[in-house]
Copies of this chain bind each other. A is one copy, B any other.
Amino acid sequence: MDSKLSVYNSLTRNKEEFKAMNPPFAGMYVCGPTVYGDPHLGHARSAITFDIVFRYLSFIGYKVRYVRNITDVGHLENDADEGADKIAKKARIEQLEPMEVVQMYTNSYHEAMDRLNVRRPSIEPRASGHIQEQVEMIQRIIDAGLAYVSNGSVYFDVLKYNEHEHYGELSGRILDDLIAHAGEERRTLEGKEEKKNSFDFALWKKAAPEHIMRWNSPWSEGFPGWHIECSAMSAKYLGETFDIHGGGMDLLFPHHECEIAQSRSSNGVAPAKYWMHNNMITINGQKMGKSLGNAVNLAQFFDGDHPVLARAYNPMTIRFFILQAHYRSTLDFSNEALEAADKGLRKMINGLRTAKALVYTEDSSIAKDEALDKEILADCERVYEGMNNDFNTAIAIAELYNLLKRINSIKAGIIPMAGISRESFDKLISTFVAVNEEVLGICEEKMTERDDPNRMIESWMETYRAARAEKKFDMVDLIRGNFKQMGIVIKDSKTGSEWAYEE
């Protein structure tokens, strides 16, 4: 391809040419789920967004190490430094050990992502599995004079950090505004607060007596703050500076801002070169939320098991729908939009079946059309231009439909196959198939998962029973014969006909 990959960098608020720090290697860290509930559309969008980045970088030749964490400790309610740990709270409600909650929802996350054909990351580290690395990083921040111990907890000193660095470089938050806001808070919190300033954030929290998840540390028996895990684990598996850090837009502040501050303070460098953030999802124009009754989880989408859903949607439809928008746009789910995506997906998959079945054949009686060759190559190029334009899958899909038109015209003989060169033909087919399957992760098998084989067998059994009643014995024999090939026998009896596995 001719065009170069550009990435919108949240840090510079600009689209920039992607230049890997250490080609052909590329390192990417993405904030994964806090595993205390069933995976929902928000999880799907983030995972699919960075699955595309992972797939496309691999496709264009990078050796990508993709690290996506599991947050299994330290993420407190309301993303704050006070309140219950989200997982411990769920464990209490469900009367389980916190790690049982972690296991259960990690499993359901993986299951849903597998069905959505999201590739597993190269490494999937857990926060609770990296306490030592976090403790050592916190110690380095304390040693640098940028964190303080208060009543067994450790807090990051934002004002101190801001003397030499810029707190707000990613989010654009103005510290003066935070200070003004903090002033108001201080009046209400007087005396209750361990922190010097309300915008300081926890690196380590001393555990209350009832807190189950706790580890020894130099400061107290406690647990790490939410932000430190990503700094410690990204540095461990990708080095102190790596190429891409991704996550949902809701994590930009404070989580990612704090990550940058932590890494600069302990390692002296910013963690990532490019920061990428996927936008949010709405359902029927509303924000998702339990109180609004529209918090549909992915399993419910797959089963159609929620009042807002008109029917079940197969995982590929969800994936395709998400890809039909650019990751930085907001995306609104509705039954109508999903129906349209489903229709579009089936068209694409029919196209894949057509494209794979076409065989190039020469015919010397037909003149070559060089202008058409050029058009086809240009059409293919535009697919990659879409992907290179900040991974714009919306454009890429639109361009793939253009390729599909050409493919269908060739199949129908409207474009004589021998009129185009073998090179153009190969490029057309390979671009269409590879970008669909390898880059976008469109997969027919995942779409047809819903097709329970027994349902298909039952449908033929009805036909069999009708044929038998009408004494259409050639049809009866035919169905029996077809079933036999599949290891299925039909048993006729007084009470009717039934099928069974051949024994």
Residues of B within 8 A of A485 (CB): 459
A453, B463: Cβ atoms closer than 8 Å: no
A121, B103: Cβ atoms closer than 8 Å: yes
CA gap between A121 and B444 in the complex, in Å: 31
> Is A347 interfacial (CB-CB < 8 Å)?
yes
Decide: A459 near B475, CB < 8 A? Known: A65-B100, A216-B136, A353-B500: no
Copies of chain A in the complex: 2
Residues of B within 8 A of A498 (CB): 357
CA gap between A452 and B445 in the complex, in Å: 8
From residue A357, how far is it (CB to closest CB) to chain B in Å? 8
A interface: dominant SS: helix
CA gap between A350 and B215 in the complex, in Å: 53
Interface size class of A (residues with CB under 8 A): 35 or more
Residues of B within 8 A of A102 (CB): 123
> Is A343 interfacial (CB-CB < 8 Å)?
yes
> Is A349 interfacial (CB-CB < 8 Å)?
yes
Residues of B within 8 A of A176 (CB): none
0 or 1 for each of A64-94: is its CB under 8 Å from B? (1 = yes): 0100000000000000000000000000000
A451, B453: Cβ atoms closer than 8 Å: yes
Q: Which of B126, B486, B501 contacts A459 (CB 8 A)?
A: B486
**Chain A residues numbered 430-485 whose CB sits less than 8 Å from any CB in chain B:** 444-445, 448, 451-457, 459-460, 463, 472, 474-475, 478, 482, 485
CA gap between A162 and B100 in the complex, in Å: 37
Residues of B within 8 A of A453 (CB): 448, 451, 453, 456
A503, B103: Cβ atoms closer than 8 Å: no
Question: Most chain-B Cβ atoms within 10 A of its Cβ — which of A216, A350, A452, A463?
Answer: A350
> Is A122 interfacial (CB-CB < 8 Å)?
yes
B65, A350: Cβ atoms closer than 8 Å: no
Residues of B within 8 A of A190 (CB): none
Decide: A97 near B237, CB < 8 A? Known: A103-B123, A482-B463, A503-B347: yes
CA gap between A320 and B4 in the complex, in Å: 54
Decide: A122 near B103, CB < 8 A? Known: A346-B501, A451-B486, A482-B459: yes
**Chain A residues numbered 338-367 whose CB sits less than 8 Å from any CB in chain B:** 343, 346-347, 349-350, 353, 357
From residue A498, how far is it (CB to closest CB) to chain B in Å? 8
19 example contacts (A-B, Cβ-Cβ < 8 A) are as follows: A65-B100, A97-B123, A99-B123, A99-B125, A126-B126, A126-B129, A129-B129, A131-B132, A132-B215, A136-B216, A343-B503, A347-B503, A350-B500, A448-B454, A453-B456, A456-B456, A456-B457, A459-B482, A472-B474
